[in-house]
Amino acid sequence: MEYLPNRRRFLLASAAVAAVCSRVRAQRTSPAGTIEVSGRTATFSVDYGRPLESVVYTFVQEYGWPVTFEEAPIVYAGDMVDVTANFSVGIRAYNPRGGRLEFTYGLANDGAPPTDPLPVLKAAIDAHHRAGFPGRYEVAASEGYFHITPTAHHDERGVLEPVRSPLDALVTVDGGGRSAWPVFNDFTRAVEKASGYRVLIGHNPFYQGNQPEIDQRFESVQARTVLKSLIRAAGKPRRWYLMFVPGRRQYALSIV
Enumerate the domain spans of the chain.
1-27+165-236, 31-163
Q: Stretch 133-152: mean pLDDT, rounded?
A: 97
Checking if the pLDDT of 26 tops 50, the result is no
Amino acid in position 70: E
d(CA 67, CA 241): 9
Whole-structure pTM value: 0.86
Asked if the model's pLDDT at residue 10 lies above 60, the reply is no
pLDDT of residue 29: 60
Contacts of residue 188, Cβ cutoff 8 Å, sequence gap at least 6? 199, 201, 253
| Contact (CB, 8 A) for 204 and 187 | no
- In this predicted model, what pLDDT tens digit does every residue of 157-209 receive, in sequence order? 999 999 999 999 999 999 999 999 999 999 999 999 999 999 999 988 887 76
Whether the CA torsion 171, 242, 182, 238 is positive or negative: it is negative
Q: Which of 73-87, 98-112, 154-168 has the highest mean pLDDT?
A: 154-168
Alpha carbons 80 and 215: distance in angstroms, whole number: 43
User: Which residues lie across from 255 on neighbouring strands?
Assistant: 240
The residues that bridge with 240 in the sheet, in sequence order, are 255
pLDDT cut 90: percent of the chain above it: 73
pLDDT at 49 over 80: yes
